Amino acid sequence: MKLLLILCYFAINTVIAQNVDHGKISIGKTSDIFPKPAVVIGSYGKDGMPNIMTASWTGICNSKPLCIAVSLRPATLSYHNITENMAFTVNVPNEELVKVVDYVGVKSGHKMNKFEKLGLTPIKADSVNAPFVKEFPISIECKVIKIVDIGSHRQFIGEVMDTKVDPSILNEKQRVDVTKLLPISYGGNGYYGIGEFIAKPWSVFKELK
Amino acid sequence: MKLLLILCYFAINTVIAQNVDHGKISIGKTSDIFPKPAVVIGSYGKDGMPNIMTASWTGICNSKPLCIAVSLRPATLSYHNITENMAFTVNVPNEELVKVVDYVGVKSGHKMNKFEKLGLTPIKADSVNAPFVKEFPISIECKVIKIVDIGSHRQFIGEVMDTKVDPSILNEKQRVDVTKLLPISYGGNGYYGIGEFIAKPWSVFKELK
């Protein structure tokens, strides 16, 4: 009994010490990377039918060659389309498209042609066998160069072949101006807009003392 | 000559037709997914020295088990640390940490102990052999379950083992409140803050007519 009390004492002290030490609390296994994108992936079916779905499990994964990784579940039509054609497009939305982004993420392409349903226009990409969405301000064309089965999701690693943009979101250097694009951040139980410019990368570090 | 002229005529018409068709212009191979994260990856060296570096080529890549992918170049110390220990942490910054994020992305761990240099505190993660940064509001502990060599970068796929957060950024449901966190978006030649709440996911689609 005495030994048990001593052990409890040390156990409690360890927990307190840890809390005092770093001040954080554990909230388990979460996807709390912020911000996360919410982009719309375009692909063709065997029958040539264009499909789109919203994905947030995506991002740049390589520089040379420049690649984007997108992870999809086998239950989605896009998973099978992309496995078949080894190609997809990444369509980046602006704030005005938030309802479309949400709809395309909730509804399945197995049950409808989402382009037709939403009055969107599929355009065949120049460089790969996948459709992009005319109404989205940025469309990136990707050729799958690697497939990685992780668990619930298959990760498609697509080499970037070209980017199509609405000229109105470009700056004088022909690069995307985020304040003209007005992209959507996903996470924290909300879609959020882009905020203020904070600082210049590869530069603001010089201000540290 | 006549044939050449006819071919030119069709070529020009095709280009014009394509431009009229979708209204976008091609700007080549870009990393124009928005928003992109800028997070700080923690790892231990062989000698037990804690290191951090900033990464933007990262994101969630699987749901079951929940995984985060981070792509790093062989030139970085973190690449070797993580290959050795098969563990890393993902430390999500807030706006106040923007100079630190920039510094940690510019300077190499081969040449200095960045924790010491910046007065940051390394804390050994509970669940994996990697340090997290006390001063960052969110730290996610990851165990590497797969390595994918893509080209310039090695992608480390880490299973999320735990998340440590500063309690002040949580809402009443013990989930991260983005408006309290104030994360940083990277891209478009700037670090940007988070903007206004736009809409509720899995819900706003109902407003489409």
Domains and CATH numbers, chain A: 36-193 (2.30.110.10)
Residue A52 pairs with which residues in a beta bridge? A42
CA-based R_g, chain B, Å: 22
Q: At B177, is the secondary structure helix, strand, or coil?
A: coil
Give, for B150, the enclosing helix (H) or strand (E): none
What's the first-to-final CA gap in chain B, in angstroms?
55
In this complex, which of B68, B150, B176 lies closest to A62 when CB atoms are compared? B150
Strand spans (E) along A2-117: 25-26, 36-37, 39-44, 50-55, 58-62, 67-72, 87-92
Q: For residue A176, what is the DSSP state? A: B
Sign of CA dihedral A139, A142, A148, A154: positive
Minimum distance, in Å, between the CA of residue A68 and any CA atom of chain B: 8
Q: Which two tokens stand for residue A71?
A: 């992870």
Model pTM score:
0.91
Confidence of residue A173 (pLDDT cuts 50, 70, 90): very high
Do A175 and B187 contact (CB within 8 A), yes or no? no
User: What whole-number distance in Å separates Cα of residue A4 and Cα of residue A167?
Assistant: 72
Is the Cβ–Cβ distance between A98 and A136 less than 8 Å?
Answer: no
Count of CB atoms situated within 10 Å of the CB of A170? 16
Report the pLDDT value the prediction gives residue A14, as an integer from 0 to 100.
46
Kindly state the DSSP code that residue B176 receives in the 8-state scheme: B
- Tens digit of each residue's pLDDT (9 = 90 or more) over A119-169: 999 999 999 999 999 999 999 999 999 999 999 999 999 999 999 999 999
Rounded CA separation B34/B40 (Å):
19
* pLDDT of B188: 87
The alpha-carbon gap from B6 to the nearest alpha carbon of chain A, in Å, equals: 22
Position A20 scores a pLDDT of 41
Could you report the per-residue pLDDT of B48-91, keeping only the tens digit for each? 999 999 999 999 999 999 999 999 999 999 999 999 999 999 99
pLDDT in the model for residue A17: 41
pLDDT of residue B19: 44
Closest CA to B72 of A144, A68, A157, A62: A62
Quick count: other Cβ atoms within 10 Å of Cβ A31?
A: 19
Predicted pLDDT of residue B140? 98
Taking an 8 Å cut-off on Cβ atoms, the answer to whether B160 and A95 are in contact is no
Nearest partner of B166 among B131, B134, B126, judged by Cα: B134
Nearest residue, CB atoms, B24 vs list A166, A193, A204:
A166
Flag whether pLDDT at A74 surpasses 60.
yes
Strand-pairing partners, residue A124, are A131
pLDDT at B3: 61
Mean pLDDT by groups of 10 residues along chain B of 209 residues: 59 46 94 97 96 98 98 98 98 98 97 97 97 98 98 98 98 96 95 97 94
How many angstroms separate the CA of residue A93 from the nearest CA in chain B?
Answer: 9
- Alpha helices (runs of H) in B131-192, residue ranges in sequence order: 178-181
Q: Measure the CA–CA gap between B70 and A64, rounded to whole angstroms.
A: 15
